[in-house]
Structure 1
Amino acid sequence: MPSSPISRLSGNRMNWGARFLLSFLAALPSGAAAQTLGDPEYGAYLSAECATCHQRDGSFDGIPSITNWPEEDFMAAMFAYRAKQRPHPVMQMLAARLSDEEIAALAAYYATIKN
């Protein structure tokens, strides 16, 4: 699959893009963002690699929980890892391999898991 135009952005442009996305989502009617971001079923399919470190039940064993996050926050964090604006080499590498669609799907999936 070819990389998306967003994956080729520099850090400053990615930061701008993440801010734009968040401001756009904030302007949507309540509940609309959750309906438009990602496919939770696809996110469940993709989540196996995440589960090797992050616990699905939300337990914390030195690695932060990623369950029950607002989708926008999850996506902003993943975009920041991808742009190397958040420090963690493993997460930077994993986020760099994900498309925007995959990040949105993971965000939708993990937002549905209540712990």
Structure 2
Amino acid sequence: MSAAPRPVLQGLLAAATGIIASTAALAQVPRPGDRALGEYLAGECVTCHQVSGRAGAGIPPIIGWPADQFVAVMQSYRAKDRDNPIMQTVAGRFSDDEMAALAAYFGSLTPPQTK
């Protein structure tokens, strides 16, 4: 049995490397959150953040935010990069999947129309 020519082996190696790189890149793509789970988890959030979208007592509205922005803010509270002990505690209890679910829920809500 003869050995495969070098160019064939190099081609196979390049193809395998490409497949591995593509698979790794797909693993990095955030999955969309489960909106129903987000609605379930939102109970604690809406005690301060009004689901109506109105700001109150210095607490910003969080409805209608893009999911990536919502998750990034929550992760920054969890990492204690943002200084708010209450939000650090709340965010610290959520997994990445739960944050994505909350982002899907709050992102699906429509901010009120301003007149």
The TM-score normalised by the length of structure 2 is 0.69
Corresponding residue for 1:10? none
Matched, 1:87 2:83: yes
Question: How many residue pairs get matched?
Answer: 83
Corresponding residue for 1:43? 38
Structure 1 residue 38: Cα displacement: 0.5
Q: How does 1:95-110 map to 2 (within 5 A)?
A: 95-110=91-106
Higher relative contact order (CA 8 A, sep 6+): 1
- What amino acid is the match of 1:54? H
Matched, 1:57 2:52: yes
Q: Percent of counterpart pairs with the same letter?
A: 48
SS class of match (2:62): coil
1:51-106: CA deviation from partner (whole Å, max 9, x where unpaired): 00000010011210000000000000000000000110000001011111110100
Structure 1 residue 37: Cα displacement: 2.0
Q: CA RMSD in A?
A: 1.2
Say which one has the larger Rg. 2
Q: 1:69 & 1:95 partners in 2: Cα distance?
A: 17
Q: How does 1:59-78 map to 2 (within 5 A)?
A: 59-61=54-56, 62-78=58-74
Q: 1:104 & 1:37 partners in 2: Cα distance?
A: 7
Displaced runs of 4 or more, over 3 A:
none
1:25-64: CA deviation from partner (whole Å, max 9, x where unpaired): 6xxxxxxx7xx32001100000000000000010011210
The TM-score normalised by the length of structure 1 is 0.69
SS class of match (1:63): coil
